[in-house]
């Protein structure tokens, strides 16, 4: 065998081995996702791309449960808070043009937002360090508000008179309230509606033809996935929502492939400048120099030793996750038509599988409302006035703080009377009285605290 023949043989064998490994990896991923989105239930579109190539794309579950219509990979989903990266980009375009300054107070553009004890700037809003409380916290008896058209001013009226939770810039606290204000900035400065601005200045130049601020009039209904959620253990359709409610904080609809186009632009920067992209993906700090884990519209985290740039979204009937590992040029996108799905956790697992260092992930288990109802209630820290609520939203157990809605965490059941929050590394052990009733819990998180059930 001559050298040329040997090289051809060697390269053929090498390519075959790589291809076999990719097939095996994709089969592992597909097997997992078949279990994750099993049965005649809502599902998801999953896309994985690496080095400018789609290495996995598939759809699972039903887009219409009643009619048994399956999800297609080109379907359009509500992406919720992934909207914030696009709103942030629009603001940065105006900054780059010299029409807005990151240090401008918000009142320069939103005249009806009152002055606060401290100045609130454009930077504070983009970086989630403003201290403006969360407004997007809707109880079951307020669901009707989601179907009522709102002007930006009406949205802002829900929170404009609330006191700041802290001095802007001193802390990080994620709040949807920041982004309606930024939407108004864009509209005031550009003279365009936010929907039109994003279309002309982002989506059309990037050929994201299936992406818009809420559904475009021309969108075919067969491409729109229906949304679902669980309520008290039952699967129900998502409530009617109009796009003017989530607005600049969460009203974008898109497809997995359009979001890949967006990811490629963040990588290749053929349209967006270095200033804009670096501003989006660079972690911001508080005044004390503490990292916030957030840029502008993106979380900055770490996965199996690699830096990640990511954001998810959750709306009433949809969950999304976009995960990017720049060092490996690996992008994972999950769009689900059911609220509060564990898309971030699944995206992390899929990325780790591609990297050859798979994380442990338990099989999805459907929590049954009645099994956990005895844990629901309000708990008070002994010797303090601090309160915690434990409840189930959709089929997810949550721990939240009544005084700071939306800052809570998902609970995972470990054993009888034992739960944990992996997000904040806390272990919770419930206590019972002689009659077997839940009376409180102890929390182990950098020390032990005791909580008493008060209702």
pLDDT > 70 fraction of the chain, expressed in percent and rounded? 93
H/E stretch holding 34: helix 3-36
CATH of 77-354, one of 2.160.20.60, 3.40.47.10, 3.40.640.10, 3.40.710.10: 3.40.710.10
User: Domain extents for the chain?
Assistant: 77-354, 369-453
Residues 6+ apart with CB under 8 A from 84: 179, 248, 249, 250, 297, 311
pLDDT reading at 295 higher than 80 = yes
pLDDT at 220: 86
pLDDT at 102 over 70: yes
Among 13-22, 152-161, 385-394, 402-411, where is mean pLDDT lowest?
A: 13-22
State residue 426's pLDDT score.
85
Output the pLDDT for position 354: 97
Q: What is the pLDDT of residue 349?
A: 97
Lowest mean pLDDT among 131-145, 270-284, 298-312: 131-145
pLDDT, residue 7, reads 55
pLDDT of 210 strictly over 90: yes
Residue 13 has pLDDT above 70, yes or no: no
| Average pLDDT, rounded, for the chain | 91
pLDDT of residue 81: 97
What mean pLDDT comes out for the span 238-260? 97
Please report which confidence band the pLDDT of residue 20 belongs to, taking 50, 70 and 90 as the band edges: low
Work out the average pLDDT over 42-57.
97
CA 238, 29, 263, 172 dihedral sign is positive
Structure confidence at residue 401 as a pLDDT band (50, 70, 90): confident
- Strands, sheet with 212-213, edge to edge from the N-terminal-most edge strand: 77-78, 252-254, 212-213
Number of Cβ within 10 Å of residue 191's Cβ equals 9
DSSP 283: P
Average pLDDT for 273-283: 98
Phi, psi angle pair for 369, to nearest 5°: -50, -50
pTM over 0.85: no
What is the mean pLDDT of the segment spanning 299-303? 96
Q: Could you please report the per-residue DSSP string of 104-155?
A: SBGGGT-TTSPP-SS--BHHHHHTT-S-PPP-----GGGGGGGGS---HHHH
Whether residue 252 is predicted with pLDDT greater than 90 in this model: the reply is yes
Q: What is the mean pLDDT of residues 245-261?
A: 98
Residue 141: its pLDDT value, please? 73
Candidate from 128-132, 187-191, 337-341, 425-429 with smallest mean pLDDT: 425-429
Q: Helix H segments across 255-306?
A: 256-268, 274-281
Residue 423: predicted pLDDT: 72
Find the Cα–Cα–Cα–Cα dihedral 189, 193, 199, 205, rounded to 10°: -20
Write down the pLDDT at residue 234: 83
- Domain 369-453 class, CATH top level: mainly beta
pLDDT at 394 over 80: no
The pLDDT of residue 10 is above 70: no
């Amino acid at each position: 065998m001559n050298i040329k023949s040997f090289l051809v043989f060697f390269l053929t064998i090498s390519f075959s081995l790589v291809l076999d490994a990719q097939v095996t990896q994709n089969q592992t991923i597909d097997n997992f996702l078949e279990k994750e989105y099993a049965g005649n239930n809502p599902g998801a579109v999953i896309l994985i791309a690496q080095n400018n190539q789609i290495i996995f794309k598939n759809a699972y579950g039903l887009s219409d449960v009643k009619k048994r219509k399956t999800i297609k990979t080109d379907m359009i989903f509500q992406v919720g808070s992934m909207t914030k990266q696009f709103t942030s980009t629009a603001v940065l375009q105006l900054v780059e043009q010299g029409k807005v300054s990151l240090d401008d107070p918000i009142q320069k553009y939103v005249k009806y937002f009152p002055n606060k004890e401290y100045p609130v700037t454009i930077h504070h809003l983009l970086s989630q360090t403003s201290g403006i409380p969360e407004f997007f916290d809707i109880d079951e008896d307020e669901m009707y508000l989601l179907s009522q058209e709102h002007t930006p001013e009406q949205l802002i009226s829900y929170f404009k008179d609330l006191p700041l939770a802290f001095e802007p810039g001193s802390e990080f606290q994620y709040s949807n309230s920041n982004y309606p204000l930024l939407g108004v900035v864009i509209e005031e400065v550009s003279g365009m509606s936010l929907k039109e601005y994003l279309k002309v200045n982002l989506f059309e130049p990037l050929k994201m033809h299936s992406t818009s601020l809420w559904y475009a009039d021309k969108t075919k209904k067969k491409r729109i996935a229906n949304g679902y959620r669980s309520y008290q253990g039952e699967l129900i359709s998502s409530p009617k929502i109009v796009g003017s409610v989530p607005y600049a904080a969460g009203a974008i609809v898109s497809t997995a492939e359009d979001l890949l186009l967006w990811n490629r632009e963040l990588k290749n920067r053929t349209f967006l400048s270095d200033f804009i992209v670096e501003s989006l993906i660079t972690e911001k700090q508080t005044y004390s120099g503490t990292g916030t884990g957030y840029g502008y519209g993106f979380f900055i985290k770490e996965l199996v030793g690699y830096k990640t740039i990511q954001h998810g979204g959750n709306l009433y009937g949809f969950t999304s996750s976009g995960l990017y590992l720049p060092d490996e040029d690996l992008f994972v996108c999950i769009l689900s038509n059911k609220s509060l799905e564990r898309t971030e956790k699944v995206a992390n697992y899929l990325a780790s599988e591609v990297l050859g260092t798979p994380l442990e992930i338990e099989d999805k288990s459907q929590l049954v409302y009645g099994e956990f109802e005895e844990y629901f209630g309000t708990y008070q820290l002994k010797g303090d006035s601090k309160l915690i609520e434990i409840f189930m939203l959709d089929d997810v157990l949550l721990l939240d703080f009544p005084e700071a809605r939306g800052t809570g965490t998902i609970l995972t059941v470990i054993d009888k009377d034992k739960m944990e929050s992996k997000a904040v590394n806390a272990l919770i052990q419930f206590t019972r009285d002689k009659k077997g009733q839940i009376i409180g819990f102890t929390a182990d998180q950098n020390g032990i605290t005791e909580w008493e059930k008060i209702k």
